[in-house]
């Protein structure tokens, strides 16, 4: 059951404002927490689907690939090497 799993992760009781309509929502009584209703939950999902929400800045610069320095220990030994 989804509600039981959610309650095991959250503290005893948490009160927040619904992100859509700003109504006060109690985690113990609202099945749709953090939303106040299924309607607000679906409106939020629609906002994501319509790309109305955006990440402010990229987590990493994708224009330049990150260079990884070679690690001697990470290289596999070739079968014909005499490093013993």
- CATH of residue 36: 3.30.50.10
With 0.85 as the threshold, say if the pTM is over it: no
For the residues 34-42, what does the mean pLDDT come to?
Answer: 96
Contact criterion met (CB below 8 Å) for 27 and 13: yes
pLDDT digits (tens, 9 = 90+) for 56-71: 777 776 676 666 666 6
The better pLDDT of the pair 66, 50 is held by: 50
19 within some domain: yes
67 within some domain: no
Give the confidence band of 74 by pLDDT, cuts at 50, 70, 90. Answer: low
Question: What range defines the domain where residue 48 resides?
Answer: 2-53
What is the Cα–Cα distance from 17 to 77, expressed in whole angstroms? 58
Residue 79: other Cβ atoms inside 10 A: 5
Could you give the number of structural domains in the chain? 1
24 within some domain: yes
Residue 36: other Cβ atoms inside 10 A: 21
21 within some domain: yes
30 within some domain: yes
Give the confidence band of 77 by pLDDT, cuts at 50, 70, 90. Answer: low
């Amino acid at each position: 059951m989804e509600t039981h799993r959610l309650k095991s992760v959250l503290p005893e009781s948490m009160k927040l404002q619904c992100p859509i309509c700003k109504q006060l929502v109690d985690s113990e009584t609202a099945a749709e927490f953090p939303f106040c209703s299924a309607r607000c939950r679906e409106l939020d999902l629609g906002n994501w689907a319509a790309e109305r929400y955006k990440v402010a800045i990229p987590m990493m610069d994708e224009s330049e690939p990150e260079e990884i320095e070679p690690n001697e220990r990470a290289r596999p030994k070739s079968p014909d090497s005499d490093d013993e």
